[in-house]
Amino acid sequence: MIREQVSEQEKIWINFEAVRQFFYCKRKIYFRYCAKFKGYKSYKMVKGTEYHNYKFKRKEKINEKKNFWVENEKLKVRGFIDYIIKTKDNETIIGDYKQKYPYKGKIPEQYKMQLVIEAVALQPKVNIKKVEIKLPKGKKIQEEIKEEEIKKVIKAIKEIRKIIKKEEIPEQTKIKSKCKDCECRNMCQPM
């Protein structure tokens, strides 16, 4: 009986973007997957989509692949990847475009974990050890992928599936400033 429950849970496909949402606020997983709440698009979301569309219209460079779909059957994760590039040193880097970036020199955890699961999903075909965020005006931030981050993101995938399977709403984020522009705010706050 327990094995049947586990195998049923493993059938749930998780989108890369859900990993980012999980590390931002676990309740977003509940509202999107369990309550099937679509939400509204905040100003930041609309501007971010416009920025991505602009970046994707630009011609790919020889060492770059942009906006492509990836599925990893073993992990049951999938989604669009903004880009991967091959450096002069023959390193492959996976990245994401961001319109604005309020943090100084460090990729926020939710963006980093999304890039880590994207990198893991490409293995063993592509071995990626670095992630980056590309910002306007040619700025970028690169970071190494650490082994503990890979373990953390795999654990998060299991937790996401658990939230979906049990349909139990997680605790609210302790960082209330995250709620200000959240598309789930009106459903979430009264709880």
**23 pLDDT above the threshold of 70:** yes
Dihedral sign, CA of 45, 50, 52, 53?
positive
- At residue 38, the pLDDT reads 72
* Residue-wise pLDDT tens digits, 68-125: 999 999 999 999 999 999 988 889 999 998 877 666 778 989 999 999 999 999 988 8
How many angstroms separate the CA atoms of 85 and 27, rounded?
Answer: 33
- Work out the average pLDDT over 121-150: 90
**148 pLDDT above the threshold of 80:** yes
- At residue 101, the pLDDT reads 65
- At residue 153, the pLDDT reads 97
Question: In terms of residue numbers, what domain contains 168?
Answer: 2-188
Q: In CATH, what number is assigned to the domain containing residue 141?
A: 3.90.320.10
- At residue 136, the pLDDT reads 78
Give phi and psi for 141, each to the nearest 5.
Answer: -125, 125
- At residue 167, the pLDDT reads 93
| Count of the separate structural domains present in the chain | 1
The whole-chain average pLDDT of the chain stands at: 82
Contacts of 116 by beta carbon, 8 Å cutoff, 6+ apart: 131, 145, 149, 150, 152, 153
**130 pLDDT above the threshold of 50:** yes
pTM: 0.83
* Cα Dmax for the chain: 56
Nearest to 85 by CA among 25, 158, 134: 134
Contacts of 16 by beta carbon, 8 Å cutoff, 6+ apart: 77, 78, 79, 80, 81, 114, 117, 118, 121
**6 pLDDT above the threshold of 50:** no
SS3 content of the chain, % helix, strand, coil (to 5): 45, 20, 35
pLDDT band for 4, please (50, 70, 90 cuts): very low
Tokens found for residue 91: 């390193």
Nearest to 169 by CA among 187, 153, 145: 187
- At residue 182, the pLDDT reads 79
**159 pLDDT above the threshold of 60:** yes
Q: Is 169 helix (H, G, I), strand (E, B) or coil?
A: coil
- At residue 30, the pLDDT reads 92
* Range of 27-41, 68-82, 169-183 with top mean pLDDT: 68-82
